[in-house]
Structure 1
Amino acid sequence: ARLGLSFVPTLYDDALAEVYQTEARARGFEGAACLMPSGPGLVLVSRDPDALWDEIGEHLLYDARLYAAWQHADQRSSWHVDAATIGDLRAGGQHAILTPGECVDLVRETGAAVLHPLVAGIDPAIGWETLELVVDEVMPALAG
């Protein structure tokens, strides 16, 4: 807030949001956004989520393990995922591959979807395809 920037913490905490908003108001920062995590930390969109999990699941597991490796034992974060397998990762829900309709439902329920189309070095063509689905199907459904 001191720097006039929005805030996206890694953990949902109403007290932290209030501290941020109070500081933003004190500094005259109008339109300060404090976006608390409220759904998956990473969303990709596909017409066939199972097939995309098969194709890039190892990349997503690498991403989850990398984040877990540098977090301290006493660190609180919605990003921390203890996943030994792709199945564990899918079950945890932090990394989500959704159909366009599921993504629409997520945004309506939580207010956002965190897109990460180049996560862990996936093929840019895959990332581009997920973004095209968001633009062509998700955004129009949300606008209508």
Structure 2
Amino acid sequence: MTGLSEDPAVEADRYRAAIEMAVYAEAHGVQTVNLEEHHCADNGWLPAPLTLAAMIIARTKRVRVNVGALLVTLYDPIRLAEDIAILDLVGGGRFSFVAGLGYRPLEYHATGRSWADRGQLMDECLETLLQAWSGKPFEYRGKTLRVTPSPVSRPHPFFMVGGMSPVAARRAARFGLPFHPPTERPDLEEIYRDELARQGKQGLYVSPGKGNTMLIVDEDPHAAWPELAPYFLRELQEYSSWKQEGVPRPGEDEVHSVEDLREQGRFTILNAADFRLRFQGPEAGSAVVHPLAGGIPIDRGWEILERFCEALA
């Protein structure tokens, strides 16, 4: 979620609204609430996904809460294992995440981590998480530890390794973990499966959901586009401003206008009838709604969510 206000009271209202929206979404058939992680963003993009995930899990009973991606290299791995174990216990196994490296050196600087050592940090974190969640003593930086309590999920809370590089694909295979790139990458799938075979391990390649675009349901899409496009543009322009040479990311196309936005396809506005036609049948893919994108006012966000849920029914 993102916001545009410097007023803490306004931001507090947006976070409270996000939690209530998650409760409403669960009651109306939504299967997953997805959170992200960004730091030092001008638009207030969510910097504390585990905190918000805990609040949502405490208020819900069935909906899965996923962080995609959780920048695991920015955390102390023992504390991260403990925090996720508690989320897993309280949520009864409903918490999941995509382990990501991130793509902004500033975030590493802000959290006291080394950008140059990010690959090594990822390897250490993944190994530590898996050992910590085993419930058994293990060696960690020269000392023997046993992390408690153990999560309810066995052998560990569900998570995937994210990334857009051959290194990321091979890393996931080496640990025997699912691999989930943010865009369709048949080349990385082949690398991942080859490395699994070489390591003698089993894994799971998870491609991005078919039709995985941000959907708005509105009975007058023509009128909704100029109303909502400025919020979409603010969010995408903030994202594009973080581009780093040589660091692959999804959705790198720059957008400057409503026309660019519509052509890119990251956001789609449909009326209810067209929405139902698009998402009928087992091959329809995932329908994703982002009701607070780019600082969309809370009242308008509720309208967006309610219409989306009505169309799902």
Normalising by structure 2, report the TM-score. 0.36
Matched, 1:118 2:303: no
Q: Is the CA contact (8 Å cut-off) linking 2:182 and 2:207 kept in structure 1?
A: no
Percent of residue pairs identical: 27
- Displacement of 1:76 after TM fit? 4.1
- Displacement of 1:116 after TM fit? 0.8
Equivalent positions of 1:81-100 (< 5 A) are: 81-100=253-272
Distance 1:69 1:133 in 2: 32
Count of aligned pairs between the two proteins: 134
**Per residue, is there more strand in 1 or in 2?**
2
Distance 1:39 1:48 in 2: 21
- Displacement of 1:88 after TM fit? 1.3
Q: Residue 51 of structure 2 corresponds to which residue in structure 1?
A: none
User: CA-to-partner distance for each residue in 1:71-118, whole Å, 9 max, x for gaps?
Assistant: 334444442232111221112212212222333344345411221111
Is the radius of gyration larger for structure 1 or structure 2?
Answer: 2
Q: Residue 103 of structure 1 corresponds to which residue in structure 2?
A: 275
Instruction: Sort the Cα spacing of 1:124 and 1:38 in 2 relative to 1 into closer, same or farther, 3 A.
Output: same
Q: Is the CA contact (8 Å cut-off) linking 2:212 and 2:285 kept in structure 1?
A: no
Gaps of 5+ in 1: none
SS in 2 for 1:80: coil
Q: Which amino acid aligns with 1:55?
A: E
Instruction: Sort the Cα spacing of 1:35 and 1:123 in 2 relative to 1 into closer, same or farther, 3 A.
Output: farther
Q: Is the CA contact (8 Å cut-off) linking 1:13 and 1:36 kept in structure 2?
A: no
Distance 1:52 1:117 in 2: 13
User: CA-to-partner distance for each residue in 1:109-143, whole Å, 9 max, x for gaps?
Assistant: 54112211110110122221122122222x22xxx
Q: Residue 218 of structure 2 corresponds to which residue in structure 1?
A: 46
Distance 2:260 2:241 in 1: 16
Matched, 1:80 2:252: yes
SS in 1 for 2:181: coil
**Per residue, is there more helix in 1 or in 2?**
1
Distance 1:103 1:61 in 2: 23
Q: Is the CA contact (8 Å cut-off) linking 1:64 and 1:80 kept in structure 2?
A: no
Matched, 1:9 2:181: yes
Normalising by structure 1, report the TM-score. 0.71
What is the Cα-based RMSD across aligned positions, in Å?
3.2
